[in-house]
Amino acid sequence: DAKTTQPTSMDCAEGRAANLPCNHSTISGNEYVYWYRQIHSQGPQYIIHGLKNNETNEMASLIITEDRKSSTLILPHATLRDTAVYYCIVSPGTASKLTFGTGTRLQVTL
């Protein structure tokens, strides 16, 4: 599996957009970018995934650079409930396994 690099921690003011970066310079052509988050004392939660194109759902937007070597997860209006560890994972879309790294700890503040 391709490795990812994420900042250890980030802060964001409530109501502002949270932009979480992820580097995956060794990503293969068949590998997707997945984002999960884990709120304290809960199980991980799937957020979004993409291959090449930018993606948006009710939770977030995913921006993938044209060379696919990095991506950004955007929470458009962060709330206190978005405080969590965010994991960026690259994995083939076919049957495989999710390998979680250390993620980015996002702290949303008033």
Partner 1 sequence: DTAVSQTPKYLVTQMGNDKSIKCEQNLGHDTMYWYKQDSKKFLKIMFSYNNKELIINETVPNRFSPKSPDKAHLNLHINSLELGDSAVYFCASSQWDRFNEQYFGPGTRLTVT
For residue 96, the one-letter residue type is S
Nearest-approach distance from CB 98 to partner 1, in angstroms: 6
Segment contacting partner 1 by CB under 8 A, of 16-24, 62-70, 72-80, 88-96? 88-96
Tokens of 76: 């458009």
Angle at 93 between CA 87 and CA 59, to 5 degrees: 45
CA distance linking residue 22 with residue 18, whole number of Å: 13
Q: Among residues 34, 72, 75, 83, which is the contact residue for partner 1, using CB under 8 A?
A: 34
Nearest-approach distance from CB 31 to partner 1, in angstroms: 10
What would the x/- binding string for partner 1 be over residues 51 to 80, using CB under 8 A? Answer: ------------------------------
Binding site for partner 1 (CB under 8 A): 32, 34, 38, 41-46, 49, 85, 89, 91, 93-100, 102
